[in-house]
Chain A
Amino acid sequence: MLSLLLAATPALPLDEAGKYVAGAYIVFLALIVVYVAIMAAKLQRIERELRELAGFAESRANGDQAAPGRGSEEQSISDSFAPHGAEEAAPYE
């Protein structure tokens, strides 16, 4: 079975050489993904802080009626789907 498979894919040597090449490309991929993960963590932190600050700003505007970080999550998320004034609409930028 394996020999049939190998015969069908002659361009992919699954012997020694193939492992090294695969290893090199996997290292490259892994580094990129790790970088993305680190940036994702940063983005998370920024999101959290923005939420806090939005809470503070609101509470200032409403004269201390609202506590910071109140459950305004649904509001914020549905807000983000609404088109902004002069900017481009999509929130995924």
Chain B
Amino acid sequence: MTSSRLVYMAILGKDLRAELRTLQSLPAMTLFAITTFVIFRFGLDRTSLSGSLAAGVLWATLLFAAILGINRLFVAEREEGGFDAIRLAPVDRTTVFAAKASALLVYLVALELVVVPVFAVFFLDSAAALLPLTLVLLLADLGLAATGTLISSMAVNSSARDLLTPLVLLPLVVPLMIAASGASEPLLALGGPGYHRFGTWLAVLGLYDLIFLLVGYAVFDFLLED
């Protein structure tokens, strides 16, 4: 294995192991999402959702839960001096970006594995939409992972980091949310999953992912200099 690969596996492994051991982010994110569903049930005064309402509730909740995780992504590095260790390693900084983004991706997927079935149980009439939904979820997660890692790595060095991450991240992921909801809305329609413009929205998601993965790849070097 090349040294980049080794470093990638090392960082990714460390993150996942730490999370498994301490369980800092995932349970909080999951609980937050489920509670938010309850709030929506009462806020909207509805016990079943479909179409655009369902898509909106699902994506808004996932996004806010994701932000909780994104806020904490680099906290360990900052507090325990992990950044210095990374700087000393003679590898491309972008490996760090890849590893951190992969870790975030794993958290998001783990979150959704629990939260989406709960959403279906709470609000949906049938689970037929869930399979095509996984494709949308995966592509959206990739975009969230890229932008979340990018913003989090910058905000972690500031004084108001918990405030800064959602502030800067939210407008940035608007196109992602537009595409994700756009694809999900017909899937969650009352009569059964529809695929109106499904391919187009997936293409937009893919484009978003590509662009921000490339941007992250190009600029991450500059973020870890010091």
Please determine if A and B sit in direct contact within the complex, based on CB atoms under 8 angstroms apart.
Answer: no
- Interface residues of chain A, those whose CB is within 8 Å of chain B, are none
